[in-house]
């Protein structure tokens, strides 16, 4: 039995609740890839709130508290303004709302690039304040030393290569990477460097498919694709994109729902009944006994 904080759906309150299964662990996920093959692909989705985590948790191996919360939750233009406090708070909520998935939290821009020591301080704070199991950081060979420093000190690290959103100002946009031979070689080399440094998994984002496959085959740890290839060892999407919360749909996203329309139509029905004074009815009010 394991104990976590679960939302009581009848009260919307978080209470300590014993669960009938143990949470997945980083070593178990890492071990899913054997001799370069992952028989059962890893499933990862983003989560930012306790209730969202509760709904996604039974279906996922990992929940990523992504710095994409900048745009999704806060309406910011990019991930650059995200702070450690923001990530820690949302990660703690996701941990409280889950009991099965490994919770991975993004390290925000500026919290790990200066030195391995600074990265350790930031990562330790995130894990201490949230209860998450691992951190994710962007960058390839340049971050290998930091990945090794963290993993040797007990902090599991997920890498991230290819299109790295925190480097959008350098990359000049969110276009697919790996179209030139030099860039393709760099992506594969970056993945190998992170693997050798001890990363337990590597996100490959926005990379032309043959290069994503080559990177997956070049490393011993699982790769998690997003805009990459079905031949990666797992997949991740921003949940709100997958659910159809936004009008714009990136090429690499499949919309599995149209939640935005459901919310809009439901709000419209509510507004209409309020204006007609048909809500609340006797069923939704307290009458004298």
Decide if 65 contacts 87 (C-beta within 8 A): yes
Of 205, 217, 247, 265, which residue is the catalytic one?
A: 205
Q: Is 106 within any annotated ligand binding site?
A: yes
d(CA 114, CA 40) in angstroms, rounded, equals 37
Q: Is 186 within any annotated ligand binding site?
A: no
205 as an active site residue: the answer is: yes
Q: Is 136 within any annotated ligand binding site?
A: yes
Q: Is 68 within any annotated ligand binding site?
A: yes
Q: Is 67 within any annotated ligand binding site?
A: yes
Binding residue numbers: 67-68, 106, 136, 138
Q: Which residues are annotated as a binding site for Mg(2+)?
A: 67, 106, 138
**Which residues sit in the known binding site for 3-methyl-2-oxobutanoate?**
67-68, 106, 136
Query: Active-site positions?
Result: 205
């Amino acid at each position: 039995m394991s104990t976590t904080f679960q939302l009581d759906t009848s009260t919307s309150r978080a209470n300590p609740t014993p669960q009938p299964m143990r949470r997945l662990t980083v070593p178990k996920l890492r071990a899913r890839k054997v001799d370069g093959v992952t028989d059962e692909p890893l499933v990862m989705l983003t989560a930012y709130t306790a209730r969202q985590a509760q709904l996604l948790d039974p279906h996922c191996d990992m929940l990523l508290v992504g710095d994409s919360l900048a745009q999704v939750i806060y309406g910011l233009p990019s991930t650059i303004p995200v702070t450690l406090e923001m990530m820690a708070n949302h990660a703690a909520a996701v941990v409280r709302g889950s009991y099965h998935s490994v919770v991975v939290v993004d390290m925000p821009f500026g919290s790990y690039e200066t030195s391995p020591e600074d990265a350790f301080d930031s990562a330790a704070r995130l894990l201490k304040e949230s209860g998450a199991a691992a951190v994710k950081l962007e960058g390839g060979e340049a971050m290998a030393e930091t990945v090794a420093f963290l993993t040797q000190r007990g902090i599991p690290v997920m890498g991230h290569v290819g299109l790295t959103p925190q480097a959008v100002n350098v990359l000049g946009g969110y276009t697919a990477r790996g179209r030139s031979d030099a860039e393709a070689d760099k992506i594969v080399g970056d993945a190998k460097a992170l693997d050798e440094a001890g990363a337990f998994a590597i996100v490959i984002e926005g990379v032309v498919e043959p290069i994503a496959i080559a990177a997956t085959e070049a490393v011993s740890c699982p790769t998690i694709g997003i805009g990459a290839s079905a031949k990666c060892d797992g997949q991740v999407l921003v949940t709100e994109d997958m659910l159809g919360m936004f009008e714009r749909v990136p090429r690499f996203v499949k919309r599995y729902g149209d939640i935005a329309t459901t919310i809009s139509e439901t709000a419209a029905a509510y507004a209409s009944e309020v204006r007609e004074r048909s809500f609340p009815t006797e069923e939704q009010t307290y009458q004298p006994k």
